[in-house]
């Protein structure tokens, strides 16, 4: 099915200071057959006043949805996706409220996803806000059970050429609604962090492809939202990484990845216990344990519908320690790495 009408979902939480640049860049897109859907996730600042001003000026182009509370990234964007599913859209793009899009960003993503009906997700080159370094050129999942943004902090001049990747960042990507109807929406149990890798993993297991288009450029002020919450990232990381593994890694390569994941997850936890933020790590591990059986139940459904082999999944995952693992712990872990 050819993608034409697109809903661009922007999730906002206390983003009054950054949301204007985001919406202005979307209103300036060369691609015209789309509607901006702003989902406000229970903001307590003056975001509503700013958003209502946009609705009064661009009523036909800006749709506003207000959540009573913060549903996290996964739950929040699902509200916008539900709107797209029930209002005759062909695809939904997700775009961070702390990002700015080049004027051809959406046009390039639509062109990429329309180039092959097997492409369920199209993503682009997400740079840091100064344009000098890369935030993400697609996402990868490694043999160590860790997910990471491809080429993060590399020079933008070294951006890879367009091609297929493992996954797409939820901050600036385009998703076929036919695919989402098939594999499901974002998993609300993740709340935030790795929910986009989880969805990309499920897409791959379902036989869909993810394509990265170098020409679809956007700029991201990383951490503009999550940095407001101390220890939030560490908590979500320890809670969500086991879920990501349990749900998605197919049986044929399960033990191969599990041995490494158990080792590195334990080391990361021990390292966190020695830091000031150890409470966040303990809470994250505890929450992950609480969600274990729920993730196991979801695994049965996901693996039961798998359309590709474990060998194929192994062929597209990263065969080494993620480049983002640096320092003494990284060197120690890397000595155990086997391709």
pTM confidence score: 0.94
Q: How many domains does the chain have?
A: 2
Q: For the domain that residue 136 is a member of, what is the CATH number? A: 3.90.550.10
Residue 159 is part of which domain span?
6-228
- C-alpha angle with apex 189: 188 to 190, nearest 5 degrees? 90
The last residue of a domain, from among 228, 256, 287: 228
Asked whether residue 339 is domain-assigned, the answer is no
- C-alpha closest to that of 248 among 190, 290, 326, 289: 190
Cα 83 → chain centroid: 19
Residues 173 and 240 in one domain: no
Contact, 138 vs 166, CB < 8 A? Answer: yes
How do the pLDDT tens digits run along the chain, 339 residues long?
Answer: 899 999 999 999 999 999 999 999 999 999 999 999 999 999 999 999 999 999 999 988 999 999 999 999 999 999 999 999 999 999 999 999 999 999 999 999 999 999 999 999 999 999 999 999 999 999 999 999 999 999 999 999 999 999 999 999 999 999 999 999 999 999 999 999 999 999 999 999 999 999 999 999 999 997 655 556 678 999 999 999 999 999 999 999 999 999 999 999 999 999 999 887 799 999 999 999 999 999 999 999 999 999 999 999 999 999 999 987 755 556 666 555 544
- C-alpha angle with apex 36: 127 to 134, nearest 5 degrees? 5
Residues 236 and 224 in one domain: no
Q: Is 5 exposed, middle or buried (0-12, 13-18, 19+ CB in 10 A)?
A: middle
The last residue of a domain, from among 177, 204, 228: 228
Residues 69 and 210 in one domain: yes
Asked whether residue 1 is domain-assigned, the answer is no
Asked whether residue 155 is domain-assigned, the answer is yes
Q: Label the pairing between strands 119-128 and 147-149.
A: unpaired
Q: How far is CA 127 from CA 41, 104, 105, 169, in A?
A: 25, 15, 12, 12
Residues 29 and 62 in one domain: yes
Q: Is 16 helix (H, G, I), strand (E, B) or coil?
A: coil
């Amino acid at each position: 099915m050819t993608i034409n009408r697109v809903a661009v979902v922007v999730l906002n939480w206390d983003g009054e200071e950054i949301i204007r640049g985001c919406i202005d860049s979307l209103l300036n897109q060369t691609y015209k057959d789309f509607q901006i859907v702003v989902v406000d996730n229970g903001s307590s600042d003056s975001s509503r006043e700013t958003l209502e001003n946009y609705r009064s000026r661009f009523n036909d182009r800006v749709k506003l949805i207000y959540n009573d509370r913060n549903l996290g990234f996964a739950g929040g964007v699902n509200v916008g996706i539900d709107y797209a599913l029930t209002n005759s859209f062909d695809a939904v793009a997700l775009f961070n409220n702390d990002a700015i899009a080049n004027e051809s960003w959406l046009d390039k993503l639509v062109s990429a996803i329309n180039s092959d009906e097997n492409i369920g997700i199209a993503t682009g080159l997400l740079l840091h806000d100064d344009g000098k370094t890369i935030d993400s050129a697609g996402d990868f999942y490694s043999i160590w059970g860790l997910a990471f943004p491809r080429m993060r902090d590399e020079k933008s001049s070294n951006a890879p050429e367009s091609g297929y990747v493992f996954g797409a960042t939820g901050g600036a990507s385009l998703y076929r609604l036919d695919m989402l109807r098939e594999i499901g929406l974002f998993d609300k149990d993740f709340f935030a962090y790795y929910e986009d890798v989880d969805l990309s993993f499920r897409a791959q297991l379902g036989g869909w492809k993810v394509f990265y288009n170098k020409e679809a450029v956007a700029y991201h002020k990383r951490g503009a939202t999550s940095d407001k919450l101390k220890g939030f990232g560490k908590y979500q990381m320890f809670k969500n990484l086991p879920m990501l593994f349990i749900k998605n890694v197919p049986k044929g390569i399960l033990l191969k990845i599990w041995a490494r994941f158990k080792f590195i997850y334990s080391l990361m936890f021990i390292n966190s216990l020695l830091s000031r933020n150890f409470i966040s790590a303990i809470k994250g591990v505890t929450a992950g344990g609480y969600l274990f059986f729920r993730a196991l139940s979801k695994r049965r459904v996901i693996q039961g519908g798998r359309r590709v082999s474990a060998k194929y999944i192994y062929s597209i995952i990263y065969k080494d320690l993620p480049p983002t693992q640096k320092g003494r712990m990284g060197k120690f872990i890397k000595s155990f790495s086997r391709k």
